[in-house]
Structure 1
Amino acid sequence: MKAWMFNRAELTLALQETPQPELRAGAALVRMEAVPLLSYTRSYLKGELPYAYPPGTFTPGTNGIGRITAVGAGVQQFRPGQRVAINPYWIANEAVAEPPQILIGLTGISLDSAQMLQEFPHGSLREVADVPASTLLPLDGLDHLSSERLAVLAKFVVPFGGLRRGRLAAGETVAINGAGGYFGSAAVLAALALGAAKVIALGRRPEALRKLVELGRGRVLPVLLSGDSSADAAAIRAAAGGGVELAFDMVGKAGDAHSTLALLRSLRRGGRLVLMGSMQVPLPIPYGDMLLNSWELIGHFMYTPADYLALLSLIRAGLLSLDDIEVKSFAFPDLEQAMDHAAQMQGLQATVTLFAQ
């Protein structure tokens, strides 16, 4: 089979012929059909990110859509021929307080994840992927959607996990910081699907929010951030008609805390703030305000299998459409061009690598 192989020591990437992986107990072989690309794939392959890379030469790539070709001993619910989504977030299934965890094909997460990276180093940018069965999600009942379209699930499931962790309830108002970004834009649509009465979409560029307002049909209200946290908090509260129940921060690599603090101060008493962005500076917490308002601050990473299953249920029910995302696809051998396109993605866009069937 063919696979993209990345040499970490030399920082080189090449499409190579390689033996198909052997079937292992508790794992499955998946013939890949579509793989979404992260916007920072090129930076990752240049070694510019502070990640714990898998050892040696490995296949990068995180999420993906494919069909199972074989399942190993001990796999109970999956079957050959079944279409599945690959979820790279692998947590060791052991009854300990803090099991090790990694993102397959990308990075270790916990300090004790080296063994997991060595056991499953290869990601999804290969014709046949070898993955733990616990990282698969069944796509039964979604046959009307192409694998290219289903690859967009990766854009939704990350913020979806954060919204559920924040306990967003139908009828509540949520403010989303970074709404014009890759994951933030998906968070807006996911919040609508979960029944939010209003979604306050925060951003700095009006054109990045325009499509979200259109899709919201009166339930999405834009707020352009000024950089003054007090003024921005007041603008959010005015748009919400009072404080918001849930604030959701999805800004990547923020160089200051102004917009996140505006989110916090926009909360009504008893409100929750979920942090899922990647701010590069400390967040100064107003201790007294936290106490007097009973605010809840929640740091959250990724999502659970239950979150992913809930997302799939919304799509099956027609409550969330993947068609609102603009998908640009590239053939599997054209990964270099795909990475360049992914680096330029904005808002409701996605870049997908397609495999020949």
Structure 2
Amino acid sequence: MKAWMFNRSELTLALQEVAQPELRAGAALVRMEAVPLLSYTGNYLKGDLPYAYPPSPFTPGTNGIGRIVAVGAGVQQFKPGQRVALNPYWIANEAVAEPPQVLIGLTAVSHDSAQMLEEFRHGSLREVADVPASTPLPLDGLDHLSAERLALLAKFVVPFGGLRRGRLAAGETVAINGASGYFGSAAVLAALALGAAKVIALGRRAQALQQLVALGKGRVVPLVLTGDIGADAAAIREAAGGAIELAFDMVGQASDANSTLALLHSLRRGGRLVLMGSMQAPLPIPYGEMLLNNWELIGHFMYTPADYLALLSLLRAGLLSLDEVDLKTFAFSDLPAAIDHAAQMQGLQATVALMAQ
């Protein structure tokens, strides 16, 4: 079969003929149909990111859509021919306080997960992927959707997990920081699907926010941030018609914490702030105000299998649509061009590599 292979020491990526993986106990072989690309795939392949890479050479690629080819001993539910979504977030299934975890095809997450990366080093940019059976998600009942559209689930499930962790309830108002970004824009649509009464979409690009307003049908209010903590917090409250119940921070690569602190100060008493962005600057927390307001600060990474299943339920019920995303597809063999395109993505855009069927 064909697979894209990355050599970390040489920083080379090449499409190669490799042996099809052997079937293992507790694993599944999946014939890939579509693979979404992260915007920072190019930087990752240049070695610019502080990630713990899998042992080289390996196939990169995280999420994807495919069909089960075969399942190993001990796999109870999945069957050959079944359509599934690949989920790279693999947590060891052991009854310990802090099981090791990795993002397959991308990086180790915990300090003790090197063995997991060795065991399943290859990601989804190959014709047949070998994955732990605990990671695919069944796509039964979604055959009317194309593989490239279903690949967009990867864009939604990350912020969806954070919104669920923040306990967003129907009828609540949520402010989303980074709403004009790749994951932040999806967070706005996910919040609407979960029943948010109003979504305050925060960003620095007014045009990108206006697209979300149109999709919100009166429930999305755009707000361009100024960088002034007090002024932005007051503007959020005004846009919401009062203090908000939930603040969701998905801002990427922020150089300061001002927008995050504006979110915090827009919360009502007892409000929650979920952190899922990639800001590297320190976050100075007002200790006394946290206590007096009973604010809840939640750091959250990725999502749980239950989150993904809930997302699929919304999709089946018609409460969430993947059609609003501007999708650009590339042939599997044209991956370098796809990577370049992915680096330019903004807002409700996505890039997907398609396998020849």
One-letter code of the match for 1:106?
L
Q: TM-score, normalised by structure 1?
A: 1.00
Cα deviation, 1:9-28, whole Å, max 9, x if unaligned, reads 11100000000000000000
List alignment gaps of at least 5 residues for structure 1: none
Report the counterpart of residue 154 of structure 1 in structure 2: 154
Pairwise CA distance, 1:208: 1.0
Q: How does 1:308-319 map to 2 (within 5 A)?
A: 308-319=308-319
Distance 1:209 1:144 in 2: 30
Pairwise CA distance, 1:219: 0.2
Answer yes or no: is 1:236 the counterpart of 2:220.
no
Answer yes or no: is 1:169 the counterpart of 2:136.
no
Pairwise CA distance, 1:157: 0.1
Q: TM-score, normalised by structure 2?
A: 1.00
Pairwise CA distance, 1:172: 0.1
Answer yes or no: is 1:35 the counterpart of 2:24.
no
SS where residue 116 of structure 2 aligns? helix
Report the counterpart of residue 321 of structure 1 in structure 2: 321
Distance 1:323 1:204 in 2: 24
One-letter code of the match for 2:43?
S
One-letter code of the match for 2:123?
G
Cα deviation, 1:28-72, whole Å, max 9, x if unaligned, reads 000000000000000000000000000120000000000000000
SS where residue 323 of structure 1 aligns? coil
Cα deviation, 1:298-319, whole Å, max 9, x if unaligned, reads 0000000000000000000000
One-letter code of the match for 1:212?
L
Cα deviation, 1:277-321, whole Å, max 9, x if unaligned, reads 011110000111100100000000000000000000000000000
SS where residue 189 of structure 2 aligns? helix
Answer yes or no: is 1:332 the counterpart of 2:332.
yes
Answer yes or no: is 1:131 the counterpart of 2:131.
yes
Report the counterpart of residue 67 of structure 1 in structure 2: 67
Distance 1:206 1:278 in 2: 21
Report the counterpart of residue 253 of structure 1 in structure 2: 253
Report the counterpart of residue 184 of structure 1 in structure 2: 184
Q: How does 1:113-128 map to 2 (within 5 A)?
A: 113-128=113-128
SS where residue 310 of structure 1 aligns? helix
Distance 2:253 2:117 in 1: 26
Report the counterpart of residue 289 of structure 1 in structure 2: 289
One-letter code of the match for 1:281?
A
Distance 2:201 2:258 in 1: 16
Distance 1:324 1:39 in 2: 18
Distance 2:107 2:260 in 1: 27
Distance 1:350 1:278 in 2: 19
Pairwise CA distance, 1:327: 0.5
Report the counterpart of residue 143 of structure 2 in structure 1: 143
Report the counterpart of residue 223 of structure 1 in structure 2: 223
* Aligned alpha-carbon RMSD (Å): 0.3
Pairwise CA distance, 1:205: 1.2
Distance 1:211 1:252 in 2: 20
One-letter code of the match for 1:336?
P
Pairwise CA distance, 1:182: 0.2
One-letter code of the match for 1:178?
G
Distance 1:39 1:103 in 2: 16
Answer yes or no: is 1:58 the counterpart of 2:66.
no
SS where residue 323 of structure 2 aligns? helix
Distance 2:162 2:138 in 1: 21
One-letter code of the match for 1:165?
R
Report the counterpart of residue 8 of structure 1 in structure 2: 8
Pairwise CA distance, 1:353: 0.2
One-letter code of the match for 2:243?
G
Report the counterpart of residue 44 of structure 2 in structure 1: 44
Answer yes or no: is 1:302 the counterpart of 2:302.
yes
SS where residue 99 of structure 2 aligns? coil
Cα deviation, 1:245-285, whole Å, max 9, x if unaligned, reads 00000011110000000000000000000000011110000
One-letter code of the match for 1:196?
A
One-letter code of the match for 1:326?
D
Distance 2:208 2:348 in 1: 9
Report the counterpart of residue 97 of structure 2 in structure 1: 97
Displaced runs of 4 or more, over 2 A: none
SS where residue 68 of structure 1 aligns? strand
One-letter code of the match for 1:94?
E
SS where residue 236 of structure 2 aligns? helix
Report the counterpart of residue 111 of structure 2 in structure 1: 111
